[in-house]
Structure 1
Amino acid sequence: METDQQQWRKLSGEKIRIPLKDEIEKVIANERAMGHELKVCIGTDSQVKGKETEFATVIVFLRKGKGGFMYIHNETTTQKMSIKERMLAEVAKSIEVAYPLCNIFSRYSVDMEVHVDINTNPNFKSNDALKEAMGYIMGMGFVFKAKPDAFASSSCANKIVH
């Protein structure tokens, strides 16, 4: 995944040119120095366009009472997937990002949640993946949020996926 690290960018489009872990640690230290209390939400959304599926993963930083900012990563695949496979691929991409960063968040006492774009309503097809996604995320020791509480994936990443 190290090559993917170069593809991270800020919402402004500015590319992250240092390893993601270093960038995240630097930004948390700077935010703390400014007196901001932070919370992080990581989520992924995807969209199928013809033969391609595009994934957008976001790391959303919330400053308590003072807005927020995010980092973005896009990835495209031509692998054919069922809706359930695609939902679980979204979860896996979020975990791939959250896991190597969780020690930094712990060190700075920053709460982290993993958000999934899966509907809790059983009438929606994405709901088929809900139990597995919840088990995967919670089994990794992370806080799990699904729709309608999963704004990082269902709102932020959703706006980025083209």
Structure 2
Amino acid sequence: MQQQHWRKLDGTKLTRPIEDEVEAVLIQEKEMGHELKVCIGTDSQVKGKETEFATVIVFIRQGKGGFMYIHNETSLQKMTVKQRMLTEVAKSIEIAYALCCLFTVYNVDMEVHADINTNPNFKSNDALKEAMGYIMGMGFVFKAKPHAFASSCCADKAVQ
């Protein structure tokens, strides 16, 4: 995977690759006795000719809060709503795939969240079947709105 620039919620930039950071966190959290679950999601916002994407890796400590890492990216490619939704899913899957071996080794459950509405009255619903098939076909647990908080809440706040 190409080098991406990740940051913490407070804006601190990570100095090592995300895979190394995640492994260090998994070791540290296990040593502290925390039971973890990880949710990965992406959201986007169109601003003029640009589409801003934010991908998040959310770590949830069972009963003890959580924290996340954020990666922002901008695209000049013009996209339909469906293309944008599927691009969000592809960005989440890219990260999930890069990290899934670590989650397996450290016995951490992972979900991929899609910012897609399950209500057919919303435009994003057009991408629901493809997104679900894509995520589940990769062997990941799929969540859509209203259960997809990593993409619809966390990543939504991280889109700059």
TM over 0.5: yes
* Unaligned 5+ runs, structure 2: none
1:3 aligns with 2:10: no
Deviation of 1:26 (Å): 0.3
Deviation of 1:89 (Å): 0.1
Q: Secondary structure at the match of 2:98?
A: helix
CA contact (8 A) 2:43 2:155 kept: yes
Q: Aligned letter for 2:97?
A: Y
Deviation of 1:100 (Å): 1.1
In 2: Cα distance, 1:138 partner to 1:3 partner = 26
Q: Secondary structure at the match of 1:61?
A: strand
Alignment of 1:127-142 (within 5 A): 127-142=125-140
Deviation of 1:3 (Å): 2.6
In 2: Cα distance, 1:97 partner to 1:49 partner = 24
Deviation of 1:34 (Å): 0.3
Indicate the residue corresponding to 2:10 in structure 1: 12
Q: Secondary structure at the match of 1:84?
A: helix
Deviations 1:29-74 (A, max 9, x none): 0000000000000000000000000000000000000000000000
Q: Aligned letter for 1:2?
A: Q
Over the aligned positions, Cα root-mean-square deviation in angstroms equals 0.6
CA contact (8 A) 2:3 2:17 kept: no
Indicate the residue corresponding to 1:160 in structure 2: 158
Q: Which runs of 4+ in 1 moved over 2 A?
A: none
Q: Secondary structure at the match of 2:64?
A: coil
In 1: Cα distance, 2:3 partner to 2:57 partner = 18
Alignment of 1:62-101 (within 5 A): 62-101=60-99
Indicate the residue corresponding to 1:26 in structure 2: 24
TM-score (norm 2): 0.99
Q: Secondary structure at the match of 1:59?
A: strand
Count of residue correspondences = 160
Deviation of 1:81 (Å): 0.1
Indicate the residue corresponding to 1:106 in structure 2: 104
* Unaligned 5+ runs, structure 1: none
Same amino acid, percent of matched pairs: 76
